[in-house]
Structure 1
Amino acid sequence: MILAGTAALASDIPDGVGPPADPVSQNYTLGIDDKLSLTVYGEDGLTGEQQVGPDGSIAVPLIGKVRAEGRTVDAVSAEIRDRLAAGYLRNPSVSIAILTFRPFYILGEVNKPGEYAYRKGLSVAEAVATAQGFSYRARKKYVFVKRAGASEELKLELRPDLLVMPGDTLRIGERYF
């Protein structure tokens, strides 16, 4: 059912600006403020929680900073494994899991605009409810969505299957009387 909603959403978005990958898929690209669990099997001193910092990197014991922003979990894991194998460990086994995703933002005509924690499957309607609902001036038919990393804001019809993604900025416009 979620796939059908995503397909319907994709038809409303201009070519080349498709919906981002489901955050739990292997294609999800990491961003600033994503919180990760890094595990190097058999090496408790190298295992722990990491947060993608403002510079887009995580700090890994022994090897230092590793660029994470804009890369998949698999790509970051492979780089850490390769760098650890190049002088520190023999055949390291590295895994990364996403603990929490970067927040989303909701602005404009809601009662409590601001930054909110992302959760998988969050719809725009649920995001509006999280921000304590529409203000009395809100235009409830459309929402402006700027996807993380995108340069353009999209005007989309507010529908139940419209999903929020980590790092999105939602803007609810003002209606004209």
Structure 2
Amino acid sequence: MSCVLFVLRRSLLCLTVVFVFSGVASSQLDSNYKLGAGDKIKILVFEEPDMSFELTVDNAGIISYPYLGEIKIKGKSTSELENELTKGLKGRVLVKPNIAVSVVEYRPFSIGGEVRNPGNYPFEPNLTLRKAINLAGGVTEWSNGKRFKIDREQKQDDDLLSLDSSVFPGDVVTVLPRGF
């Protein structure tokens, strides 16, 4: 009997560790992540379910929150948006608002060039060039799978890219043809 309890406790501990660390990459991305067009966010106002919403950021980088109107959020982190919403609701609508903002669905990334199925794909945490290329059906016969370019909102990144390089929401990945 004690052996069974030991195994159960050990299994529970392992599952807990897996559960906790499965969100680490996502939460690290969330804390540094800047919101942009196409992101779907959840605004949770604790103890006020009628004030909690899931909203998609429009092409101009704006959300429409029913109690505050249009809010430009492009380039802001979730914690910056939490602070802005708290300031906007405090005193006018709620005495002491307690708000959490999270990303429900990241904006897609785009992949083109020498891949079999170019297009937009949903972003997933820990996405690499290798996985992005696989999502797009692999490279064509015109590519050797070693030349890439990534256009990011902040800058263009085409130096020292490898198949293990990270891809982020909103990135535009181009798989280049092999050099002759």
Normalising by structure 1, report the TM-score.
Answer: 0.81
Kindly state the Cα deviation for residue 30 of structure 1 after the two structures are TM-superposed.
0.7
Preserved contact between residue 45 and residue 100 of structure 2 (Cα < 8 Å): yes
| Aligned residue among 93, 96, 106 for 1:88 | 93
Corresponding residue of 1:167: 170
> 1:69-88, aligned counterparts within 5 Å?
69-88=74-93
Higher gyration radius (CA): 2
- Equivalenced residues, count: 155
Corresponding residue of 2:139: 134
Normalising by structure 2, report the TM-score.
Answer: 0.80
| % identical aligned pairs | 28
**Which amino acid is the alignment partner of residue 136 of structure 1?**
E
* 1:50-98 deviation digits (Å, cap 9, x = unpaired): 1111111111111111121100101111111111114111111111111
Unaligned runs of at least 5 residues, structure 2: 1-26
The structure carrying a bigger helix percent of its residues is 2
Kindly state the Cα deviation for residue 151 of structure 1 after the two structures are TM-superposed.
4.4
Preserved contact between residue 66 and residue 80 of structure 1 (Cα < 8 Å): no
Give the stretch that moved more between structures: 138-147 or 91-100.
138-147
SS at match of 2:131: helix
Preserved contact between residue 30 and residue 103 of structure 2 (Cα < 8 Å): no
Structure 1's consecutive aligned runs of 4 or more residues displaced over 3 angstroms after TM superposition are none
Cα distance in 2 for partners of 1:157, 1:91 equals 47
Kindly state the Cα deviation for residue 139 of structure 1 after the two structures are TM-superposed.
3.6
Q: Bigger relative contact order, structure 1 or 2, given CA contacts below 8 A and separation 6+?
A: 1
Cα distance in 2 for partners of 1:49, 1:157 equals 35
Change (3 A) 1:24 1:152: closer
